[in-house]
Structure 1
Amino acid sequence: MTTLRLRLATAAAAVTLAISGIIPAQAGPMPAPPVISSQSDVTNVQYHRHWRGDRHGYYRGHRGYRERRPGYRYHNGFWFPLAAFGAGAIIGGAMAAPPRGGSHVAWCENRYRTYRASDNTYVASGGVRRSCVSPY
């Protein structure tokens, strides 16, 4: 009895596999995508992380004022503190000044053949670079 059931189940499985291989599988019909209207509520936005607008009224990080103030300078329609212009004068003066060194550099160049003035170092006997310390 059990062998008869086993044989019937095996035969049913074989017939099912044979029929499924003959009949091709077909997918269902694809639904049409929804039509997007020409009018949309989407707004394009560009994100600037640290943007603070056009910074009108600022000069080198200093806030300008529309009215005249004592000790302030007029530039581009606004009055700015002297520090806004003073930093540029100090930096520009330092850049235009002759390079420092003078007697220290001359002493180190006379003392060490491998002296390099750009970083104030020379090559010692072991091949190690050391800084030059002069009496000047």
Structure 2
Amino acid sequence: MPNLSEDPSFPFYVASRLFSQVYRAPLEELGLTYPQYLVMLVLWEKDGQMVSQIGQKLQLDSGTLTPLLKRLEAINLIKRVRSEVDERRVEIELTYPGKSLQNKAEGINEKVEGIFNNWEDKEFETLKSLMDRLISEF
């Protein structure tokens, strides 16, 4: 008979939910959901990426990513630009408000990293390494 304490994914579910709670308040101030914030992080790293590149980095399919991009476009943080060379290619570019939002978002990671204040660097690196390994299994 299945047992919650034996379910291998339950701790990941709980941790994910708790992280979402930590991000909720600071992201509400920016008017973003966590998935929207991830898209913005990708674009703040490198503006003008194709939809497929963003999806690959976030490991999201176009059915999940497209609605996120539409909402970000509706609130004027990004714009879609069709390639003049190949109309099938769509690049996502930050608008001025989208670029400006980066400064307001700078303290968010520090708030989340505060969870790990009592961790040794090696523990945090081990956790990150194990999570990367788990993700690579999918």
TM-score bin, normalised by smaller chain: under 0.3
Greater RCO (CA < 8 Å, at least 6 residues apart): 2
Higher strand proportion? 1
TM-score (norm 1): 0.23
Which has the larger Rg? 1
Higher helix proportion? 2
TM-score (norm 2): 0.23
